[in-house]
């Protein structure tokens, strides 16, 4: 997806995925995008985006997946966020998709709840929380980007 964003002029062609070992023996690792900070609460690496239909240039995308490989089966959690200003009127805007670390669902599978947050301020307690259907991390990234730039929808309608 970074290649698609760079090819279409939405981010620098220097934007790269990073993989960081977090524990000895590589029992867990983190995949993230970019090297800047200032996305969600200033703590996640991010890349700057331009040319999006609905957000002003300078919107910031963060993508972080934590994978724990020493469990059977391996588990993952992820956070994908996008912050910026609405192009039409400059109103602050953010959306974030989270797959949490703990089983919170009902039923036998009891996988972690996948949900999205949408609002004007990522630090606000009063943001909309939206349940989502199961999405792999790259599918969640595509969905989030398509909400602010319809041309990035993975299956465009004709």
User: Is residue 157 domain-resident?
Assistant: no
User: Is residue 121 domain-resident?
Assistant: yes
Token pair 């964003």 is found at 5
Sign of the four-CA dihedral 21, 27, 28, 34: positive
User: Is residue 156 domain-resident?
Assistant: no
CA distances from 85 to 78, 102, 136, 148, 149 (A): 24, 32, 27, 11, 13
Alpha-carbon distance of 98 to 79, in angstroms, equals 5
Return the pLDDT at 112: 46
User: Is residue 155 domain-resident?
Assistant: no
Res. 146: pLDDT tops 80: yes
Res. 151: pLDDT tops 70: yes
In degrees and rounded to multiples of 5, residue 135 shows phi and psi of: -135, 135
DSSP 8-state class, residue 44: S
Q: For residue 107, what are the domain limits?
A: 2-150
Q: Where do the H-state alpha helices sit in 30-128?
A: none
More confident residue, 27 or 36: 27
For the stretch 116-143, pLDDT in tens is: 888 887 777 767 777 788 888 888 889 8
User: Is residue 91 domain-resident?
Assistant: yes
DSSP 8-state class, residue 71: S
Which two tokens mark 67? 């994978």
Return the pLDDT at 50: 92
Res. 33: pLDDT tops 80: no
Return the pLDDT at 16: 67
Number of domains, the chain: 1
Confidence of residue 41 (pLDDT cuts 50, 70, 90): very low
User: Is residue 158 domain-resident?
Assistant: no
For the stretch 58-93, pLDDT in tens is: 999 888 888 777 767 767 788 888 999 999 999 999
User: Is residue 122 domain-resident?
Assistant: yes
User: Is residue 77 domain-resident?
Assistant: yes
Sign of the four-CA dihedral 53, 141, 34, 101: positive
DSSP 8-state class, residue 57: T
């Amino acid at each position: 997806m970074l290649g698609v964003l760079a090819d279409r002029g939405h981010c620098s062609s220097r934007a790269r995925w990073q993989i960081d070992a977090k524990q000895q023996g590589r029992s867990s690792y983190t995949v993230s995008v970019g090297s800047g900070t200032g996305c969600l609460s200033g703590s996640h690496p991010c890349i700057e985006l331009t040319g999006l239909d609905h957000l002003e240039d300078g919107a910031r995308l963060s993508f972080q997946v934590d994978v724990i490989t020493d469990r059977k089966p391996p588990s993952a959690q992820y956070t994908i966020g996008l912050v910026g200003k609405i192009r039409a009127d400059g109103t602050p805007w953010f959306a974030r998709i989270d797959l949490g670390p703990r089983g919170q669902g009902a039923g036998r599978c009891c996988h972690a709840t996948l949900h999205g947050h949408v609002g004007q301020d990522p630090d606000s307690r009063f943001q909309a929380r939206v349940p989502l259907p199961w999405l792999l991390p790259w599918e969640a990234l595509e969905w989030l980007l398509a909400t602010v730039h319809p041309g990035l929808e993975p299956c465009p309608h004709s």
